[in-house]
Chains A and B, each alone.
Chain A
Amino acid sequence: DTAVSQTPKYLVTQMGNDKSIKCEQNLGHDTMYWYKQDSKKFLKIMFSYNNKELIINETVPNRFSPKSPDKAHLNLHINSLELGDSAVYFCASSQGTGGRGYTFGSGTRLTVV
């Protein structure tokens, strides 16, 4: 049983399109995150929700919009995709603050052409 699952695993799309990535966790955690890992391998936080409330919103273009319908789900919608959005997007969850580490999903590899 996958603890943090993301779909799709791979996404290839053209510039200008709108796409969504979905994430679900079955760990009972109350906090979920989106991280982006670019070609230089740095993992950087984008957003975090705690019990459906947005608690972290880093400097991210407003073309990116997260949505958390409940504490087990966190989706990421991206409008007007650009070449620079190509990266691996990881969903993660934790119980409370990050002090106990996270569980990550397997990632969504987004390629914008």
Chain B
Amino acid sequence: RKEVEQDPGPFNVPEGATVAFNCTYSNSASQSFFWYRQDCRKEPKLLMSVYSSGNEDGRFTAQLNRASQYISLLIRDSKLSDSATYLCVVNNANDYKLSFGAGTTVTVRA
């Protein structure tokens, strides 16, 4: 079983729509959680950290459910520029490495 699993999508949504997707992680010792964004042929960039109480950053909302071991990302009022692959990432306490999901592709159309 992969350590981090994501629905690969693609999610094709019109501008202005809301899109949400989850990822699940297998290691209950995971301590830190992130969403990274990766544009085609570019490096992953940190979109936001995910905190236990849930957090927002503008149009982006992240949630963490430790009991069910899943993380979610919701994008409101989608923009064309939100088209990208979103990588779910987890890190265990005192561990240097990050474990990446394979990514969820979102395409926002005009």
**A interface residues with partner B (beta carbon < 8 Å):** 31, 33, 40-45, 48, 50, 55-56, 90, 94, 97-107, 109
The range of chain B's interface size is 20 to 34
Chain B residues with Cβ under 8 A from A102's Cβ? Answer: 46, 98
Query: Which residue of A40, A55, A109 contacts B96 across the interface (Cβ within 8 Å)?
Result: A55
A107–B91 CB distance below 8 A: no
- Which positions 67-103 of chain B face chain A at CB distance < 8 Å? 85, 87, 89, 91, 93-98, 100, 102-103
Chain A residues with Cβ under 8 A from B32's Cβ? Answer: 98-101
A40–B91 CB distance below 8 A: no
B98–A98 CB distance below 8 A: yes
Chain B residues with Cβ under 8 A from A56's Cβ? Answer: 96-97
Query: Which residue of A40, A45, A104, A109 contacts B45 across the interface (Cβ within 8 Å)?
Result: A104
A98–B102 CB distance below 8 A: no
Chain A residues with Cβ under 8 A from B46's Cβ? Answer: 101-103
Return the chain B residue nearest A102 by Cβ.
B98
